[in-house]
Amino acid sequence: MNVETAKCQDLDRALSLEWLETNGCGGFASGTVAGANTRRYHGLLVVAASPEYHRYVLVNHLEEWLSIDGQEFPFSTNVYPGVIHPQGYRHCVSFSSTPWPTWTFVFRDQTVSREVFCLQGQSTVVVCWRVLSQTTELIELRVRPMLTGRDYHALHQENGTLSPEVKITEQRVTWRPYQGLPAVHCKHTGTYHHSPAWYRRVQFRLEQERGLDFQEDWWAPGEVRFQLEPGRAQVLALTNESVDEFETGVLIQKERARRMRRPKAVKRPDRLAEALRRATGTFLVRQGSRQTVIAGYPWFTDWGRDTFISLPGLFLVTGQYEVAWHIIESFVPFVSKGMVPNRFPDRGHDPEYNAIDASLWFIHAVDRYLMYSNDTKRVRVVAWPAIRQILDGYRKGTRYNIKMDADGLISGGMSGVQLTWMDAKVGEWVVTPRQGKPVEIQALWIRALQVGARLAAKFGEQDYAADCRRDRMRAVTSFRTRFWYEGGQYLYDTIDGPEGDDASIRPNQVYAIALCDDLLTNEQAILVLRLVKEQLLTPVGLRTLSPQDGRYRPRYEGGPQERDNAYHQGTVWPFLLGAFVTAWVSTFGRTTKVKREARVFLKGIEASLRDTCLGHVSEIFDGDSPHAPRGCPAQAWSLAEPLRAMVEDLGLRIVSERPKPVRCKHPTVQSD
């Protein structure tokens, strides 16, 4: 993604455009095109430290100044109370996110580039500067790293416990501001001058907009000075790993070669599909021996629901079957009482099982994996026992009153608990409780029983296959009888809840068409899809509630309570486009005309790739036009589900890649 001069030098626009670099180990670097951090999560060296793989911001920013024959010019930009200082964005003439974030600046008649990238498989970020013009002038670059050493959810203030000690060797520096956190090692091609100072009251405007604390202090231990000259790169690398054999030139060459590898191109590739495919690797991480999916950057971790909804789009349609299998396999040991974890919390706490759907999405993902890979042996030995545990657990009953009812449908929930993907909660108030029998849960359950019957028959367990077929038929009959809302000619969102049946017009009913082909008649499916298109479809996804509903919230803004109240009460979610396209094509037919019509539904996603986090799709958008991007700026399922639908339903071809697994070395957090 390229950003032209006008946008680079428009402060508001440049602050709204973000870049993201990930290392495959859970750590990342991120910021804005303008250079100033607007979130507490922005940082240059954000690491996931073992054993709990919690994230820490070690290096927040670089303050950079260029001196040309004694005249100084800033690269960097910062926001302080009432002032922007320095204002390096004024000198930026272009930005590109390919192959990694690269800025081009013009100072007087000198052109200088600045590059930032993370090394795959280790917690290291590299910054590189080059003079692109021919010159005989003396050009000096001064760089001051800004450190905090804090939890990535927190903010940092000046304090007396920070240690200013430094270890300096030839072109290497080590800082450890706080005991118990990883040290920061800096390797550079310049000279280091130790001169500690505090930079106070740095402001993050997006945190302020979100109604949160938005100001912190940074500690700058010293500065690195470089002499810039044409044809020679100057490099600064920051890491919390060993630098004993750290050869920056070799690392840069290897990383550039890795990123510039071009797989065999397909004829006339779809631009959106190719852009989404390139971004899929962002979300794959290795934590110890376990591979998993980060739900979104910068603040989400790995969630069971998000992982298995995203898995087909991230790894199956892209041909990465081994990666998909390792993710499936990594969740199997955590199946408990017939449930897959919904979330692995920070700091190594026990997994959380507060989801009625994550386990059913696991079964769906295993089935899709088998369809793509034909890997019967590993599915039978490893995944099939877990699938049986889930099916039996839901039949007999498990946590949170989740159980198969007498009608064959799945009920669940209790007061004060949110179990579906619509999980916003304000204090003890669950905004969308959906107790009883949610519509998409029934579609997932009926689909899971179908998978169970097929696999049991394949593995010679005929009695179990017969049980699954019997339970599925009963559930289908009950669904057809109970879920059709005659008064509105669509599906109830939830039935048998504490307050009866819920006829709210929500997008969840689309899954009854996308996951199963026998729950509705074709005429009913057409009515549902036309209603969803009329009231819920936007250019960037489906609204979570009809604008005609009195509870509809057109904007996702304000403080935490206001935002949580809007999260599933009208806010648009792009990932739902995947199920909508699948349902549309399966209902109206796989003709060229229908596929072209369905492709138009994704046009807004294509435009959004240039709106917030460049090359990525945001978690959510406002319900009302102009549908401003909100929430997490880079979300896994927001790109995975549209990509899956483009391949599976629209018949588009994308390049298949089978990368080697990344082996990550994680720093260990030391105890005091």
pLDDT tens by residue, 173-208: 999 999 989 999 999 999 999 999 999 999 999 999
Please report the pLDDT score of residue 198 as a whole number: 97
What token pair was written down for 373? Answer: 């890979």
Nearest in space to 188 (alpha carbons), one of 224, 220, 219, 223: 224
Residue 265, pLDDT score: 53
Domain that holds residue 251: 2-260
Residue 210, SS3 per DSSP = coil
Place of tokens 């690195």: 224
- For residue 661, pLDDT over 50 is answered with no
- Is 454 in contact with 391 (CB distance < 8 Å)? no
By percentage, how much of the chain surpasses pLDDT 70? 95
In tens, the pLDDT along 270-287 reads 999 999 999 999 999 988
Q: Do residues 25 and 666 touch, judged by C-beta distance below 8 A?
A: yes
One domain, residues 383 and 529: yes
Q: 622-636 in b/e burial notation, b at 16+ Cβ within 10 A?
A: bbbeebbbbbbbbbb
Residue closest to 340 by CA, chosen among 296, 289, 376, 302: 302
CB 92 within 8 A of CB 75: no
Cβ neighbours of 60 (radius 10 Å): 26
Q: Please check whether residues 349 and 218 belong to one and the same domain.
A: no
Angstrom distance (rounded) from CA 129 to CA 493: 55
CB atoms within 10 A of CB 403: 15
The confidence band for 244, taking pLDDT boundaries of 50, 70 and 90, is: low
Helix, strand, or coil here: 455?
helix
Query: What CATH number does the domain containing 490 carry?
Result: 1.50.10.10
The tens digit of pLDDT for each residue in 589-614 reads 999 999 999 999 999 999 999 999 99
| 31-58 core/surface letters (b: 16 or more CB in 10 A; e: else) | bbbbbbbbbbbbbbbbbbbbebbbbbbb
Q: Is residue 653 in some structural domain?
A: no
Single out the residue in 238, 260, 282 at which a domain terminates.
260
Q: Could you identify the residue written with the tokens 């700026």? A: 633
Residues 6+ apart with CB under 8 A from 381: none
The residue-averaged pLDDT of 355-362 equals 97
Q: Is residue 376 part of a domain?
A: yes
The rounded distance, in Å, linking the Cα atoms of 222 and 174 is 11
* 605 against 53, higher pLDDT: 605
The per-residue pLDDT for 266 is 65
658, part of any domain:
no
Kindly state the helix (H) or strand (E) to which residue 140 belongs, with its residue range: strand 139-151
Token pair 């500065």: residue: 223
Cα–Cα distance between 265 and 277 in angstroms, integer? 13
Same domain for 547 and 507 = yes
Q: Is the peptide bond before 626 cis (omega within 30 degrees of 0)?
A: yes
Contact, 327 vs 384, CB < 8 A? no
Give the CATH number of the domain where residue 18 resides.
2.70.98
Per-residue tokens: 451: 């998978």
Query: 241 and 370: one domain?
Result: no
Assigned domain for 665 exists? no
Integer CA distances (angstroms), 137 to 141, 189, 232, in order:
13, 20, 15
200 and 306: one domain? no
CA 154 to chain centroid, in Å, comes to 20
Which of 204-218, 233-247, 276-290 ranks highest by mean pLDDT? Answer: 204-218
For residues 424 and 464, membership in a common domain is answered with yes
Indicate if 438 and 466 belong to the same structural domain. Answer: yes
Residues 240 and 293 in one domain: no
Q: What's 315's DSSP letter?
A: I
Asked whether the predicted pLDDT for residue 373 surpasses 70, the reply is yes
Phi, psi for 336 (deg, rounded to 5): -140, 125
Predicted local distance difference test score (pLDDT) of residue 482: 98
In a domain, 566, yes or no: yes
Residues composing the chain: 672
CB-CB neighbours of 651 under 10 Å: 11
| Domain co-membership, 331 together with 463 | yes
Number of neighbouring beta carbons within 10 Å of residue 191: 12
Whether residues 501 and 541 share a domain: the answer is yes
Q: What is the mean pLDDT of the chain?
A: 93
Provide the β-strand partners of residue 173: 168, 186
181 falls within a domain:
yes
Peptide bond just before 86 cis, omega within 30 deg: yes
Structure tokens that stand for 515 in this block: 């996951």
State phi, psi for 25 to the nearest 5 degrees. Answer: -120, 5
Q: Report the alpha-carbon distance of residue 32 to residue 265 in Å, rounded.
A: 31
Contacts of 188 (CB under 8 A, 6+ apart): 171, 172, 173, 224, 226, 234, 235, 236, 237
Residue 663 lies in a domain: no
Mean pLDDT for 551-566 is: 94
Q: How far apart are CA 636 and CA 631, in angstroms?
A: 13
Q: Does 463 share its domain with 601? A: yes
Decide if pLDDT at 300 tops 90. Answer: yes
Distance, CA of 503 to CA of 495 (rounded, Å): 9
* Total Cβ atoms within 10 A of residue 354: 16
Last residue of a domain, one of 260, 281, 306: 260
For 37-138, where are the E strands, in sequence order?
43-49, 54-68, 71-74, 77-80, 83-87, 92-96, 102-107, 110-118, 124-131
Last residue of a domain, one of 229, 260, 291: 260
pLDDT band at 259 (very low <50, low <70, confident <90, very high): confident
Which tokens go with 279? 């971004």
Q: What would the two tokens of residue 470 be?
A: 């019997």
Q: Report whether pLDDT(447) > 90.
A: yes
Q: Is the pTM of this model over 0.85?
A: yes
Look at residue 655 and tell me whether its pLDDT is greater than 50. Answer: yes
Number of domains in the chain: 2
Q: CB of 623 within 8 A of CB of 572?
A: yes
Does residue 671 fall inside a structural domain?
no
Give yes or no: residues 183 and 277 share one domain.
no
- Would you state the pLDDT for residue 666? 46
